[in-house]
Amino acid sequence: MAAGKMRAAGQATKPLTKFDSAQLLWVVISMVGMFPLVILALLALIILLVIFGMAGGSQMSSISPETDPSASASSTNSINAVIELSGGDGRGTFSGKNVPDQDLVAPIKSAAKKCDLLTPVIIAAQIDYASEFGAEKKGPQGGKGLSQLTDEVFDEYGEDDDDSGEASVLDAEDSIHAHARYFCHLAVETQRLLKDKKVAGDHLTLTLMAWEMGLPAVEANGGMPVLVLDSYPFQIRGLFAKYTATDDEEPDTDADGDGDDPAADPTSPTTPPTQDGTNADPDGDGATLLSGSTFNAMFPHRNSFYSYAGLTDAMKKFPAFAGTGNEQTRKRELAAFLANINHESGGLVHVEEINQAAWGNYCDAGQPYGCPAGQTAYHGRGPIQLSWNTNYKAAGDALGLDLLNNPDLVKNDSSVAWQTALWFWMTQSGAGSMTAHDAITGGGGFGETIRTINGALECGGGNSAQVQARVDAYKRFAATLGVDPGDEGALRC
């Protein structure tokens, strides 16, 4: 009886311990089919672990802008890891193959040059999300066109970019360029919030948040101190891969219709920034906006040291200066620059600071490199009146010149003098929250260029007469160049 039970038990358990060939094949197929699900589960687990780590291992807690620096650095690394897993920053090589209307590829690439943060990948992803490239789409909240811009936004940032004779939010090219101008305006404002430590988060995430909910809401929320993976910024990032070229994809050699190969062109919008800190693919040559005769008329009493040839030579080294955006923006930047250096140099009369009693005030001896040219050697020189040993060192390093040991180059070489002025204009935020270049091209306005150069010494009631003198010069030069100076409310600081 016992032996019979054991045989019966063995027969009963046989199917559980011994597979026939069909069953074994079914098990293998099942395991292979589950492999993608396992990978997705692991990816989700990694993201959760990173977020959990950001919160200190217990619960998700806000990252305050006032957080301890060492803790903030650790949190930043964690945030960057999640961002990369969620789609990155949109700075990969643009692929236009998934843009339904190939005629829109060139405007997208052109519009993306309007500020450093923006790329063609970001524009395409936002348009895809907003309208799926439906140029005639009208949304329930008043949004219209490719980017679903409201009439209010388009009225402020829209122009007739395709020269059709009419600016329209339902015109694809007009909409794309208005999209870029509005985005760049938001980028300037969110950068200001970051600098003032009013918000937490990375620059792109905050700008996309502002696009979706408005700047006041971003500031009220303190930015995005806790990552929300189903939020608008991360939904946009999820579309980046669709418009980013893969390693085996043929590069787009002429998407912007200029006959140049961006892979071989150092001014491609996907190449690293040049020394001026901007994408070096300008929309136009700034020097063509200013003739020698016009320059002479603007500065009838100028010192001959400040030559037109010296200016145009310096401009070649900063191609994004007066070369970013449409013609109106480019002319405004040229007028703004000339107005400010007019003020700083007394109409391009003074090559060196006229108050010699102050010459010894510009040596920061605490710097490791000191003041090798002497205590009084770093006084104001040139169109922007470059001063302090720290600025001579930084400008010299950027320009490939030893200005720390030989600061007199700025008063002896006209091109070098102009280069130092453009170096400051293009790369330094000075006493403000943005570079003067970004102030004009990003929508900050002329007033922000004054803040960058002289800050509280003039702005906020510091010296209203000096501010007004700069504004008057800007309006005069803008009129000479045939361009409207812009919103009156943005001309002062």
CA pseudo-torsion sign 422, 181, 91, 40: positive
> Which residue, 223, 271, 237, 243, is CA-closest to 88?
237
Name the pLDDT band for 468 (thresholds 50, 70, 90).
Answer: very high
Place of tokens 């043929």: 250
Rounded average pLDDT over 245-274: 42
Catalytic position from the list 333, 344, 353, 448: 344
pLDDT at 402 over 90: yes
pLDDT of residue 389: 95
Looking at per-residue pLDDT, the higher value among 115 and 390 belongs to 390
Residue 432 tokens read as 């403000």
pLDDT of residue 16: 37
pLDDT at 28 over 90: no
The whole-angstrom separation of Cα 204 and Cα 238 is 14
Question: In Å, how far are 7, 208, 320, 337, 406 from 282, measured between CA atoms?
Answer: 87, 24, 5, 17, 32
Per mean pLDDT, which range of 13-17, 103-107, 249-253 is the poorest?
Answer: 13-17
pLDDT at 464 over 60: yes
pLDDT of residue 443: 86
Looking at per-residue pLDDT, the higher value among 201 and 376 belongs to 376
The tens digit of pLDDT for each residue in 303-322 reads 999 999 999 999 999 999 99
Rounded average pLDDT over 372-376: 96
Task: Write down the pTM of the prediction.
Answer: 0.49
> Which residue, 334, 240, 346, is CA-closest to 288?
334
> Which residue, 80, 108, 104, is CA-closest to 94?
108
pLDDT of residue 163: 83
Rounded average pLDDT over 212-220: 90
pLDDT at 116 over 80: no
Rounded average pLDDT over 162-188: 89
* DSSP line for 238-255: TTGGGGB--TTSPP-SST
Instruction: Give me the chain's average pLDDT, please.
Output: 79
pLDDT of residue 275: 41
Looking at per-residue pLDDT, the higher value among 385 and 88 belongs to 385
The whole-angstrom separation of Cα 283 and Cα 112 is 11
Looking at per-residue pLDDT, the higher value among 21 and 417 belongs to 417
The tens digit of pLDDT for each residue in 331-353 reads 999 999 999 999 999 999 999 99
pLDDT at 183 over 80: yes
Percent of the chain with pLDDT over 90: 48
Q: Are 358 and 379 in contact (CB under 8 A)?
A: yes
Cβ neighbours, 10 Å, residue 344:
21
Q: Are 135 and 175 in contact (CB under 8 A)?
A: yes
The tens digit of pLDDT for each residue in 386-395 reads 999 999 999 9
Q: Are 435 and 324 in contact (CB under 8 A)?
A: no
* DSSP line for 433-459: SS-HHHHHHTT--HHHHHHHHHGGGTG
Rg (alpha carbons) of the chain, rounded to whole number: 29
Burial class (CB in 10 A: 0-12, 13-18, 19+), 200: buried
pLDDT at 276 over 80: no
Q: Are 452 and 434 in contact (CB under 8 A)?
A: yes
pLDDT of residue 290: 92
pLDDT of residue 353: 93
Q: Are 263 and 302 in contact (CB under 8 A)?
A: no
344 flagged as catalytic: yes
pLDDT at 86 over 80: no
CA pseudo-torsion sign 252, 253, 254, 256: positive
Q: Three-class SS of residue 352?
A: strand
pLDDT of residue 224: 75
The whole-angstrom separation of Cα 255 and Cα 110 is 10
Per mean pLDDT, which range of 20-24, 266-270, 284-288, 423-427 is the poorest?
Answer: 266-270
